[in-house]
Amino acid sequence: MSKLWGGRFTKQTDELVEEYTASISFDKKLAAFDIEGSKAHVRMLGNQGIIPTEEAREIGEGLDKILSRIERGEVEYSVADEDIHMNIEHMLIDEIGPVGGKLHTGRSRNDQVATDMHLYLREKTKKLIELVETVQQAIVGQAGSNVETMIPGYTHLQRAQPISFAHHILAYFWMFERDKERLQDSLKRVNWSPLGAAALAGTTYPINRRETAEALGFEKVYPNSLDAVSDRDFILEFLSDASILIMHISRLSEELVMWSSEEFRFVELDDAFCTGSSIMPQKKNPDVPELLRGKTGRIYGNLMGLLTLLKGLPLAYNKDMQEDKEGMFDTVETLEGALSLLAPMLETMEVNKHRTDSSVKSDYSNATDMADYLAVKGLPFREAHEIIGKIVLYAIQEEKYLLDLKLEEFKEFSELIDEDIFEKLAPDQVIAARKSEGGTGFDQVREQLKAAEEHLSF
Ligand code: ARG
């Protein structure tokens, strides 16, 4: 088959080279965006009188036909046409004849492919923002039914202070809120139009870049044609945002895996989100959160891959840049899959309230409050800390929890301790007392929940 760029060549392309350099096997995902960009470009060519309007219309209609054929799955792409751009151009010429060859006037594949990726990433980023919000919805749902569910709060994975389960899970709400903000912010830069930069230096045709930018919904045009075709920051930014997002998903998943274990049994994931073992009949494995945690590796890998790919590239376009796509597609699809599963899994998860409530009663996590109790009575906090440390040690030796000690035992350590200590040390009191802004006090958590709900748009 003759090449669209065949004029300068005297030999056929080596078959292996053709296979090796082609990107059609993956960049076919850009087809609809490529056609959208081409239609804006050709309309502008007509409006500017660069080609007759009638021909611009004919080309536009030809592109529409090709798009419907692609959507119906009727086209066969050819490796000889290398990439999605030349495949579509070839189809166009086959469809409407030599006039189709006018589409590429004043344009290069370099600004074309950059335009396609901006369009692709804009659509996918918006969809991902919505998916993140479905996860936030599920979190708000669980938080709403678990404000008064008590759970141990940890530092160093050692019991620290009891907290509200809603407070714990809402921590993830705010992580996802920042993820949404970051993705939203990245759209500012995704919305720069590279179209019209041509190969690297602009073009001699009297094109109108503002017109194509506006037609494609971009907010500004790249002010420098070299930058326009060389810039992949917007993809790097997406991959960075994606890496932070999947890291949050992974931390949450790790907690779900842990909480599902016999050692914790704080939650029970719905059967529909777990799998069994081929040998051990008793097993119910939390495969989904494990896999979500595992997916982090490929997304970080995609970020590192693109950073490394770009670091030594001279301006402007280099073929290396064709390698920018698979990691981007893979990241988008990995996140779509992860978020679509995470939301219903969180929604259907059962919190084992009996277990979480009883666990906060069987530890020393009320020790801080006991120290505060003495401090409120006038003892310097440092001294109070020392005394309570001794009481905890004594209790451990006696194989008791703090609430199991008798008032006389307490008094051995400090005369300041009275009967009211027992009420103050109950886990629900310990939690309720943390009324500081953003704290785990039940009333504070209710406030937080309200604030979270205000961030949901549907
Ligand atoms: N398939 C190419 C890519 O994705 C399109 C741009 C090709 N440009 C070129 N000058 N060979 O990077």
pLDDT, tens digit, for every residue of 381-436? 999 999 999 999 999 999 999 999 999 999 999 999 999 999 989 999 999 999 99
Pairwise pLDDT comparison (366 vs 449), residue with the higher score: 449
- What one-character-per-residue DSSP string does 221-274 give? E-S-HHHHHH--HHHHHHHHHHHHHHHHHHHHHHHHHHHHSTTT--EE--GGG-
H or E segment and range at residue 442: helix 442-454
CATH of the domain at 25: 1.10.275.10
**Ligand 1 centroid, distance to 236 Cα (angstroms):** 18
Residue 180 placed within a domain: yes
Cβ contact 67:35 at 8 Å: yes
Q: Could you tell me which residues come within 8 angstroms of residue 14 by beta carbon, excluding any fewer than 6 positions away?
A: none
pLDDT at position 10 over 90? no
In contact, 239 and 214? CB cutoff 8 Å: no
Residues 368 and 256 in one domain: no
Write the DSSP symbol of residue 150.
Answer: E
On whether residue 1 sits in a domain, the answer given is no
Tell me, what's the pLDDT at 284? 86
Classified as helix, coil or strand, 384 is helix
Write the pLDDT tens digit of every residue in 228-252: 999 999 999 999 999 999 999 999 9
Which whole number is the average pLDDT over 99-112? 98
Distance, in Å, from the CA atom of 33 to the CA atom of 42, rounded to the nearest integer, reads 14
Domain that holds residue 116: 110-358
pLDDT the model gives residue 1: 55
Same domain, 243 and 302: yes
Check which CATH number belongs to the domain holding 325 and give it.
1.20.200.10
Instruction: Say yes or no: 93 and 142 in one domain.
Output: no
Q: Is residue 232, in this structure, part of any structural domain at all?
A: yes
Whether 289 is in a domain gets the answer yes
Same domain, 184 and 74: no
Last residue of a domain, one of 77, 105, 133: 105
* Residues within 6 Å of ligand 1 by CB: 23, 27, 83, 109-110, 113, 317, 319, 321-322
Answer yes or no: 156 catalytic. yes
Secondary structure of 181-226 in HEC code, one letter for each residue: HHHHHHHHHHCEECCCCCCCCCCCCCCCHHHHHHHCCCCEECCCHH
Q: What pTM did the predictor assign?
A: 0.95
Mark whether 265 and 343 lie in a shared domain.
yes
Mean pLDDT of the chain: 96
User: Which CATH number does the domain housing residue 415 bear?
Assistant: 1.10.40.30
| Contact call for residues 173 and 451 (beta carbons, < 8 A) | no
Cα separation, 452 vs 427, whole angstroms:
25
> Is 277 assigned a catalytic role?
yes
Q: Are residues 340 and 381 in the same domain?
A: no
CA of 109 to the centre of ligand 1 (A): 6
Domain-located, residue 26:
yes
Q: 130 and 248: one domain?
A: yes
Catalytic residue of the set 68, 156, 278, 457:
156
Domain final position from 318, 334, 358 = 358
Give the tens place of pLDDT for each residue, 267-292.
999 999 988 888 888 888 999 999 99
Give the residue, by CA position, lying nearest to ligand 1 atom 11.
319
Q: Are 40 and 53 in a shared domain?
A: yes
Residues 339 and 404 in one domain: no
Q: What is the mean pLDDT of residues 23-41?
A: 98
The pair of three-digit structure tokens given for residue 79, joined into one six-digit string: 């490796």
Selecting among 2, 25, 145, 277, the annotated active-site residue is 277
User: Do 129 and 337 contact (CB within 8 A), yes or no?
Assistant: no
Ligand 1 centroid distance, CA of 392 (Å): 69
Overall domain count for the chain: 3
Residue 203 lies in a domain: yes
- Which residue has 């529909």 as its token pair? 272
Question: What percentage of the chain reaches a pLDDT higher than 70?
Answer: 100
- Please indicate, yes or no, whether residues 339 and 396 belong to a single structural domain of this protein: no
Residue whose CA is at the smallest distance from ligand 1 atom 1: 83
Among 49, 72, 105, give the residue marking a domain's end. Answer: 105
pLDDT at 281 (0 to 100)? 83
Do both 161 and 265 map to the same domain? yes
Number of Cβ within 10 Å of residue 209's Cβ equals: 22
Residues 384 and 292 placed together within one structural domain of the fold: no
Write down the pLDDT at residue 86. Answer: 98
Report the greatest alpha carbon distance in the chain: 102
CB 35 within 8 Å of CB 92: no
